[in-house]
Every structure is written in C-alpha cells, then in structure tokens.
Amino acid sequence: MSFAERMLKIDRRIIFVVIGLCTLLPLLYPVGLPIKISSEVRGVYDYIEQMPERSVFLLSIDFDPASKPELYPQAVAILRHAFRKNLRVVTMTLWVSGTGMADQLVTQVAQEMGKERGKDYTFLGWSPGGTAVIINLGQDLYNTFPSDYAGKTTKGQPVLDGVQSLRDVSYAVSLAAGNPGVEAWYVFGKDKYKFELGGGCTGVIAPGLYPLLRSGQINGLIGGLRGAAEYEILIGQKGRAVAGMDAQSATHLAIIVLVALCNIFYFSMRRQARRQGERS
Amino acid sequence: MIFLRRQLPLLITMITGLVFAGQYYVPHPASEQVLTSATKWMQIIGGFALVLGVTSLFHVHAAKIRRKEAGWGYSVVLYAGMLGTIAVGFWANGKESVEGVSTAFGWVYNFMMVPLQGTMFAILAFFIASAAYRSFRARSREAAVLLIAAVIVMMGRVPLGEYLIPMSGDLSQWILNVLNASVRRAILIGVSLGTVALSLKIIFGVERSYLGGGKE
C-alpha cells in the first residue's frame, strides 16, 4: 500500500481529534479576529433601529435545542436590541420541542433588560397547526392564542394594546432551523397580511433563503453563528457567537486543509495508477 | 357506498379547493370569516394529528417488542422515555417551571432533551469533517467547480478566512447572492409550478391517490 493510499484510509478518530482540538483550543485561547458586517445582517439591525418606541415586534423562535448553538445567540442579540429600543416584543414558536427553551430565553433576556411580562413583552407559546397558526394569527391573534404560555389571557395585556392580528405588527423576524420557518412566514404571513419580515437561520439553510432576500421578500437575513456574531457586534454587546467565531474559523480551516490533502493524495494515486498502466 | 368513498370526498375537495383558491382574492369580511373558521379547524385537526402520530408510533414499536425484532431494546427505551415524559408532563401540568422553580418536566426537558438534541447536532461536525476528507474529491470538472466554490464560501464565512484571503468574503457573498440565489430561484419556480399543477389535478379529481386504495 502506497503512502497516499494509507493516508486516504487514515483512522477517522484522528480526524475527530483534529476537529475536537480545533474547536476546543480557540474557545480556551480566543484570538478575536475582526468580523465584517454583511448587508444581510445590517438589514435586520437597521430596520429595528429605525422603529419608533412601543412599535410591535414579533419574534418567532422556530427552532429546537438541536440548533441552539447557532440560533440562541441570534435570539439573545435581537431581543436585547428590541428591548433596548423599547419595542413591544411579542414572542412565540412554531416548534413544539422548542417551547420550553424559548420561554427560558425570552424570560432571561427580559429580566436582564428589566422588562415586565405582559407590559413590555409576552411569550405566546406554541399552538398546533404549523403554517395554519400563521394564517390564524393573520386573521385574529386572540382566537389563535387566547392565553399566553404563562396561562394569562392575552386580551387586555398592555403589550398587545391595539394589536388584533398580524396586520398590526410592525416587524416580524423568524429564527428558523427548518420548516415551518422563514419561508412559511413569508408565504402565509407577509404576503397576505403585509408586515415587514426579516429572517434568521442556521448556516445550513441560509443559502436556500437567498432568493427571498434578493427579491425583497425578506429585508434581512442572519445566517448561522457568523450572522449572530455580526449582530452582537452591531448592538455592541459581544456574547457567545463572537466567542465561537474563532472555533468556527479553526474548524473551517481544518476541513479545508483535510479536503486539500485528500485531493493531493487522490491525484497522486491516480498518477501512480496511470504510470503503472503505461508500463504494463 | 361508492358515493361516500369516492364521489363525496372528490366533491368536498373540489368545492373547498376552489373556494379557498378564490378566497385569497376576495377581501370581503364574510370571506375572511370563512378563512378564520377554516384555519381554526386546521389547528384543531393539527392537534388530533399529533395524537394520531404518537399512537401510530406506539403501535409500530409495540409490534417490534412483541416480535422481538432486531433492536427491540431501543423500542423499550422509547416506550419508557415517552410514557415517563407524558406522566411527568401531566404531573407538572405541562409547565417547565412554576414561579422560577423548575418542575420535574422542566428537569426532563433541560437535562435530557436539550443535551441529547445538542449532542446529536454537535457530532455532525465530526462526521462532516471525516466524510469531506474521504469523499470530497475533484473526480470530474463539475466536482472541481463544486469543490472550489465550497472552499471559497467556507473561507469567506469565517474571520480567519477573510484575514488570510481578504477577497474571499466578497467572493463568497457573490457566490451566495448571484450564483446560488439564481439557481435556487429557478428550482423554486419549477417546484411552485409543479405544486400549482398538482393542486389543479387534485381539485379537479385527476389525481386521486390521496383517497387511498380499497374496493370501489
């Protein structure tokens, strides 16, 4: 067996150790490389920035704990921004398995920013039906969520003053790890009920949402941990996402080096095989 | 019986399909009321679908345990996990915490479900790296193009990549905004046209597979 062949059949545990070290070391010894702000992330930030105080901002936390590393920092950064701007924050989820996590997230950030449940924010929770929930919210919010996640009646809550349906929402952002998510909010929500929509998603699904972004169907997109890090920098409050960017840099570079090595060994094996063929 | 099994469902499908396709273009309060009622029904049916899904899962795994099929032990774990969580959920009234204090249901969620889901997703990074090393090879021109695009996007999406190759950020944005968006849009348009065609076929009774088999 040639060296190239041996290298291509390397024990996968060695690769696991390399990736593990590339993740762990930058977290322990951060470098803090500068992060450029993209126009996609700025789109969401600028829109929230120009919203007048007490405008209604809807955040749909459409993910479960599996996507927490990427989307949780996005949600924290957006909530901090919205609370700082004194917006009325209405939160909910379309993912049943993310309900508990979403409640903790919203409560934690609200407490940190000194906001009061029912007055400054509310967490509506989850309701069955997937995309039907969006249509129903567009028709009548109180019919869809007669009570919030804490069990309090939604009607009469100061945070929902003057809000009857999605038509009364100034801006909505869906932080999604799949379907139902950003696309569903556009198709069943924005298109009919005419509110401005932004999106946030995991890095894996971000490329699939670019057509919506380019056509103006969503006004901004926060993609993956990088997007969250950009948002943290924009609000001037670095958190988990910025801390994780060095680790992501190192793992990306490690994968690129591994792919390059694999191709070098592959082409060297091909050349060897061709030479052997010519000789025989 | 044929009327109940075939013609009636086809008639209901046709009427509701046409009514709701038309409803979108009629902003009259009566039309909006129809939509409100229908979506409320959809939500209720969605709730029942959840029960149906759980029941079906129980049936499948009960059969596996009964027949002692390969991996039946996992089905036992599934049963124990599901019944345990349902019992704890009812006991805690479906609340993860009461006045800031975590309930047993909250404990199951925070210390079992969250770490388990996180672990499943996190180990993907290791498998992706291993799979990329073994299979991401420039075997053809198309594969080489894919490889180069992937490397540029991977470099451009992290600060280290932009630091080492400053133009990788702009290049990766161009790939995502122009090449990726246009191809994705073409696929989306194709899928949407297909959906419209299929919807029309279902509404007008050309496509009947949703009715299932059985005797006429």
Confidence bin at A14 (pLDDT 50/70/90): very high
The number of helices, as runs of H, and strands, as runs of E, in chain A is 12, 6
Q: Which A residues, 118 through 177, put their C-beta within 8 Å of a C-beta on chain B?
A: 127-130, 132-133, 135-136, 139-140, 143-144
Q: Does the distance separating the beta carbons of B134 and A8 come in below 8 Å?
A: yes
CA A237 to chain centre: 17
Q: Does the distance separating the beta carbons of A100 and B106 come in below 8 Å?
A: yes
Q: Does B47 lie at the interface with A, CB-CB under 8 angstroms?
A: yes
Domain residue limits at B175:
136-211
Over range A126-151, report the average pLDDT: 91
Domain A39-238, CATH class in plain words: alpha beta
Q: Is the pLDDT of residue B1 over 80?
A: no
Q: Is the pLDDT of residue B215 over 80?
A: no
Confidence bin at B214 (pLDDT 50/70/90): low
Over range A144-171, report the average pLDDT: 94
Closest-approach residue (CA) in chain A for B29: A139
- Give A79 or A8, the one with higher predicted confidence: A79
Q: Is the pLDDT of residue A127 over 70?
A: yes
Confidence bin at A200 (pLDDT 50/70/90): very high
CB < 8 Å to A263, chain B: 136-138, 147
Confidence bin at B42 (pLDDT 50/70/90): confident
Closest-approach residue (CA) in chain A for B149: A256
Q: Does A66 lie at the interface with B, CB-CB under 8 angstroms?
A: yes
Q: Are A203 and B157 in contact (CB under 8 A)?
A: yes
Q: Does the distance separating the beta carbons of A262 and B126 come in below 8 Å?
A: no
**CA distance, residue B32 to nearest chain A CA (Å):** 7
Start-to-end C-alpha separation, chain A: 19
In a domain, B146, yes or no: yes
- ipTM score for this prediction: 0.85
Percent of chain A with pLDDT over 90: 83
Question: How does A116-152 read in b/e, with b if 16+ C-beta sit within 10 Å?
Answer: ebbebbbbbbbbbbbbbbbbbbbbbbbbbbeebbeee
Strands A221-223 and B101-102: unpaired
In a domain, B162, yes or no: yes
Q: Does the distance separating the beta carbons of B132 and A135 come in below 8 Å?
A: no
**CA distance, residue B75 to nearest chain A CA (Å):** 21
pLDDT 10s digits, A33-52: 899 999 999 999 999 999 99
Which of B43, B121, B134 has the CB atom closest to A136's CB atom? B43
Q: Given this model, what pLDDT does residue B213 score?
A: 66
Confidence bin at B211 (pLDDT 50/70/90): confident
> What tokens appear for B94 in the block?
């479906």
Q: Does B43 lie at the interface with A, CB-CB under 8 angstroms?
A: yes
pLDDT 10s digits, B104-118: 999 999 999 999 998
Percent of chain A with pLDDT over 70: 100
* AA identity, residue A203: G
Q: Is the pLDDT of residue A195 over 60?
A: yes
Confidence bin at B5 (pLDDT 50/70/90): confident
Q: Does the distance separating the beta carbons of A210 and B176 come in below 8 Å?
A: yes
Over range A169-188, report the average pLDDT: 95
Q: Given this model, what pLDDT does residue B27 score?
A: 85
CA distance A207 to A226: 14
Percent of chain B that is helix, strand, coil (3-state, to 5) = 80, 0, 20
Q: Does B102 lie at the interface with A, CB-CB under 8 angstroms?
A: no
Residue of B35, B39, B185 to mutate, testing the A interface (most A Cβ within 10 Å of its Cβ)? B39
* CA angle centred on A135, ends A130 and A136, rounded to 5°: 90
Sketch the domain layout of chain A as residue ranges: 3-30+245-279, 39-238
Which of A35, A139, A251 has the CB atom closest to B32's CB atom? A139
Over range A21-27, report the average pLDDT: 94
* CA angle centred on B41, ends B39 and B45, rounded to 5°: 115
Over range A9-24, report the average pLDDT: 93
In a domain, B125, yes or no: no
Q: Is the pLDDT of residue B216 over 60?
A: no
Q: Which A residues, 25 through 64, put their C-beta within 8 Å of a C-beta on chain B?
A: 33-36, 38, 64
Nearest CA to A232 among A221, A244, A240? A240
- A240-279 and B114-135 are packed helices; what angle lies between their axes, rounded to 10 degrees? 30
